[in-house]
Amino acid sequence: MYMMKCTQGGNFCKGELQRFENIELNPSAGVLNYGQGLFEGLKAYRKEGNTLLFHLEEKALRMRLRAKRMCTPSPTVEQFVEAVKEIVLANKSWVTNSHDLKQEFDLLLAFHAL
């Protein structure tokens, strides 16, 4: 999994890949109390030895737009793209040919306590 934290000013720090594990959540977190969370699905596939992603930049822009509507900070398009690429590269053995698309799910959650 990839974790990226947001500063008090709404800017995201460089994230990092981490082992898949449970996450700690404050009971008053915005995602629990007000549904401040976004979900975006992406598909990766392999073609001619390369791993390709469907509409990566468009998905990043859509997540930013949706976060803005919720008054929630979001990573830049560049940060989103970098994070997805790191995740896909770390899991490339699961990506097969174009007839067997693999889905990756990206989440933006408001962890801050309200």
pLDDT at 108: 67
pTM of the entire predicted model: 0.81
pLDDT at 53: 86
What CA–CA distance (Å, rounded) separates 64 from 6? 14
What CA–CA distance (Å, rounded) separates 90 from 87? 5
Tell me the three state secondary structure of residue 50: strand
Q: Where are the domains of the chain?
A: 2-109
Number of Cβ within a 10 Å radius of residue 75: 23
pLDDT at 112: 64
* Amino acid residing at 104: E
pLDDT at 58: 93
Does domain 2-109 sit in CATH 3.30.470.10? yes
- On whether the CB atoms of residues 65 and 71 are closer than 8 A, the answer is no
pLDDT at 79: 94
Q: What is the pLDDT along the chain (114 residues), one digit of tens a residue?
A: 889 988 888 899 999 999 989 988 889 888 888 888 888 888 888 888 888 888 899 999 999 999 999 888 999 999 999 998 998 888 888 777 765 555 666 666 666 655
